[in-house]
């Protein structure tokens, strides 16, 4: 690891999400040569950052801007698929939060995958449609200069929703060049982007404006339209400076939700048809955030604060005419919230028992004022109220982490965090109102051995948690049936162990292999009739992940990842022990070429295998595979054109599958069936990018 200037020591690779300066990795040998302990520098590389000698486990990594630019994405959320083993999908209209699969989880719309953008938590707590709702449609890929990830409950700086993994996206303060991009394509695709970062006073003013539209291949077009803007002022460097950022996002769409397989088999519906042709929604997100960083050779302090105002109107119909054979079962799930957050951390170098050490303390505070509900609707017109709630949810997390190199080939990363949550629910039914609170203390320990021949070995153990919907913590009466209902615990414990290895012994190849086990005291599962998640039985996942990044030449890079998970409910139940929707096998392969004269391109394959759709495993989904690609030509150093193709083999696979009861118009009784949302048919997009 080469020395770097103080301005580039740390925050080139900082985690705004965790607010721990994770880039201050231990380098004991380097410290031993210094009279005073110092925080170790980080060298920024041109493709993928090496974290050998820095990482606490085999499953964390950093993806650079160059890598992200090489990816072909159908929707912004697919940028997160740069995380090995992560699948990002969709089961409804494009404006809706994505579906996520990772480490044996169908994470629904984001539960147990903690996602932050510039330090702002994207997961929304006690959301009307599902706990941990993660809508990243406001993400602008061209502004992303870093993506880093961690998996498992092994990191003191990661709190709620981070048990399966945590992903942080960092926006750039400045752009190397201005960007003017125009794209058009099949199925009504169009996109325009204008972005630049001119000087203003002693700093830089970054601006970006994105206009986007897409219809998709559906019989009733998505009519997805979004406007998206970013305005940021920054001064100083990444390591010593500040920024203030405004973001604004608005979107409307029609939704083709999942449809029953029986209707496609009998010919009454096509693959891209919808049963209820009035489903859809609109959403908006406005945020004001700021970040401040100060570093020296031995200390680093980082603070960021944000306020987010978001709004969603969502209309869905998953059971069609099962509850109301006349008007249909469409329901509305509005959500209005104001979120305020503050994150701070301080790191300093020291000695512990005569050994070089680094300590970090941090605090994470968030308050959500929420108004949401569940209503019956017909063609997006509300006709009755199932429940309506006002929620105040507040959390405070404190953590301490220590990194110490005890010997030349042995170091530890040990930490503990304490999280306190308070919930206040004011429901339209006083029987479901109330106040609750809970606290979890989560210790973590990582042992790192090596390196030998550029190879390290890891042993990790830790406790984590996820929060449940506040309404479930105070409920006594089911608002839909009127029957008594059981409360759920406010916070659900997770615990994990992992063994891993990371190596760079072969020139140009970075590989990591990990074996893990993750337990939850209560599993969140999808409820088809309400379109929400509900707390269920304890669960266990065991699996492995194998990740490879290979750069054999200056013009070719290869990403190859493979993962498998075994997911089971714990404890005997006659209905079975499989977890519906739990992803098992996942594989991806990406080839990228550049520096071949004016030509460049990418080819990406991803695969996720069959999944159990019911507890006894008698009904399973089929596998899904896609092949996407891009070819581009640089007309000049400032102008390039790109042709992107999606689902190049035109497979007729599913983006997601469920198994539950529904009733179509004309059917006399509910039918339990597979319900699926198709992947998009083959399509092409062409764009021109001008730098200025």
Domain that holds residue 161: 6-691
* In contact, 572 and 563? CB cutoff 8 Å: no
Q: If we measure between CA atoms, which residue out of 416, 374, 376 comes closest to residue 399?
A: 416
**Is there a domain that residue 591 lies in?**
yes
Residue 263: enclosing H or E segment and its boundaries? helix 261-265
Q: d(Cα 499, Cα 562) in Å, to the nearest integer?
A: 16
Encoded tokens for 361: 């303390």
CA distance 366 to 628: 39
Q: Specify which residues 421 forms β-bridges with.
A: 395, 438
Residue ranges with strand state E in 468-572: 491-503, 509-520, 524-527, 532-535, 539-553, 556-569
What local confidence, expressed as pLDDT, does residue 297 receive? 84
Domain contains 238: yes
What residue has token string 């984001």? 110
Residue 421, both tokens: 């949550």
pTM of the model: 0.91
Residue 462: enclosing H or E segment and its boundaries? Answer: strand 455-467
Each residue of 469-485: pLDDT tens digit?
999 999 999 888 889 98
Share of the chain above pLDDT 70, in %: 91
Among candidate residues 199, 189, 279, the one with its CA nearest the CA of residue 677: 279
Nearest to 100 by CA among 66, 140, 130, 70: 130
Farthest CA pair distance, the chain: 82
H helix or E strand, kind and range, residue 366: strand 355-378
632 contacts 601 by C-beta, under 8 angstroms: yes
The per-residue pLDDT for 39 is 56
Output the pLDDT for position 134: 97
CATH code (residue 311): 2.40.170.20
The answer to whether position 241 is within a domain reads yes
| Within a domain: 652 | yes
Residue 1 domain flag: no
Number of domains the chain is built from: 1
Q: What's the pLDDT tens digit per position in 637-679?
A: 999 999 999 999 999 999 999 999 999 999 999 999 999 999 9
Write the pLDDT tens digit of every residue in 260-316.
999 999 999 999 999 999 999 999 999 999 999 999 989 999 999 999 999 999 999
For 361, counting Cβ atoms within 10 Å of its Cβ (0-12 exposed, 13-18 middle, 19+ buried), the class is middle
CA 536 to chain centre: 23
Distance, in Å, from the CA atom of 115 to the CA atom of 94, rounded to the nearest integer, reads: 19
Q: How many CB atoms lie within 10 A of CB 66?
A: 15
pLDDT at 536: 81
Encode pLDDT of 378-433 as tens digits.
999 999 999 999 999 999 999 999 999 999 999 999 999 999 999 999 999 999 99
């Amino acid at each position: 690891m080469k020395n770097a200037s103080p301005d580039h020591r740390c925050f080139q690779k900082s985690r705004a999400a965790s607010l721990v300066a994770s880039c201050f990795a231990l380098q004991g040998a380097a410290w031993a040569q210094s009279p005073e302990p110092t925080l170790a520098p980080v060298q920024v590389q041109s493709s993928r950052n090496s974290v050998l000698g820095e990482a606490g486990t085999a499953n964390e990594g950093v993806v650079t801007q160059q890598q992200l630019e090489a990816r072909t994405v159908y929707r912004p959320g697919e940028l997160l698929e740069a995380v090995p083993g992560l699948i990002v999908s969709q089961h409804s209209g494009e404006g809706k939060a994505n579906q996520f699969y990772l480490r044996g989880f169908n994470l629904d719309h984001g539960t147990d995958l903690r996602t932050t953008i510039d330090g702002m938590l994207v997961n929304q707590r006690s959301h009307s449609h599902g706990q941990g709702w993660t809508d990243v449609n406001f993400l602008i890929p061209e502004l992303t200069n870093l993506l880093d990830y961690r998996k498992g409950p092994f990191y003191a700086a990661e709190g709620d929703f981070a048990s399966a993994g945590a992903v942080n996206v960092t926006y750039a303060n400045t752009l190397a060049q201005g960007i003017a991009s125009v794209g058009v394509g099949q199925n009504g695709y169009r996109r325009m982007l204008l972005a630049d970062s001119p000087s203003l006073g002693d700093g830089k003013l970054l601006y970006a404006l994105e206009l986007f539209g897409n219809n998709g291949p559906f019989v009733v077009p998505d009519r997805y339209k979004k406007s998206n803007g970013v305005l940021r002022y920054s001064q100083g460097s990444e390591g010593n400076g500040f920024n203030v950022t405004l973001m604004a996002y608005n979107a409307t769409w029609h939704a083709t939700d999942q449809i029953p397989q029986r209707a496609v088999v009998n010919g009454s519906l096509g693959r891209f048809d919808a049963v209820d042709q009035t489903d859809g929604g609109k959403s908006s997100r406005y945020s004001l955030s700021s970040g401040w960083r100060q570093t020296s050779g031995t200390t680093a302090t980082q603070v960021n604060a944000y306020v987010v105002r978001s709004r969603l109107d969502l209309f869905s119909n998953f059971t069609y005419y099962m509850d109301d054979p006349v008007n249909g079962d469409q329901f509305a799930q509005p959500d209005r919230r104001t979120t305020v957050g503050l994150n701070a951390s301080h790191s300093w170098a020291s000695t512990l028992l005569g050994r070089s050490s680094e300590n970090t303390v941090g605090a994470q505070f968030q308050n959500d004022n929420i108004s949401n509900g569940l209503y019956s609707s017909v063609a997006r017109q509300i006709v009755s109220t199932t429940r309506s709630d006002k929620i105040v949810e507040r959390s405070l997390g404190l953590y301490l982490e220590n990194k110490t190199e005890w010997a030349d080939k042995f170091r530890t990363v040990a930490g503990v965090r304490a999280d306190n949550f308070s919930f206040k629910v004011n429901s339209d039914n006083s029987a479901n109102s109330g106040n609750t609170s809970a606290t979890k203390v989560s210790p973590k320990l990582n042992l790192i051995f090596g390196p030998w021949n550029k190879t390290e070995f890891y042993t990790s153990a830790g406790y984590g948690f996820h929060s449940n919907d506040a309404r479930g913590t105070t409920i006594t009466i089911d608002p839909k049936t009127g029957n008594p209902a059981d409360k759920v615990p406010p916070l659900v414990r997770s615990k994990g162990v992992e063994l891993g290895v990371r190596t760079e012994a072969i020139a140009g190849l970075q590989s990591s292999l990990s074996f893990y086990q993750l337990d939850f005291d209560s599993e969140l599962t999808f409820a088809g009739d309400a379109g929400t998640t509900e707390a269920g039985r304890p669960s266990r996942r065991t699996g492995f992940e194998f990740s490879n990044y290979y750069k054999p030449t200056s013009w070719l890079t290869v990403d190859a990842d493979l993962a498998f998970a075994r997911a089971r409910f714990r404890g005997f139940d006659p209905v079975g022990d499989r977890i519906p929707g739990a992803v098992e096998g996942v594989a991806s392969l990406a080839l990228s070429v550049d520096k071949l004269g004016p030509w460049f391109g990418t080819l990406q394959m991803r695969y996720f295998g069959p999944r159990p759709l019911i507890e006894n495993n008698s009904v399973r989904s089929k596998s899904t595979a896609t092949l996407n690609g891009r070819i581009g030509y640089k007309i000049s150093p400032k102008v390039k054109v790109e042709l992107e193709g999606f689902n190049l083999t035109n497979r007729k696979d599913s983006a997601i599958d469920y198994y539950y009861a529904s009733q179509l118009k004309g059917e006399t009784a509910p039918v339990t069936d597979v319900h699926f949302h198709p992947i998009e048919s083959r399509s092409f997009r062409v764009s021109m990018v001008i730098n200025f």
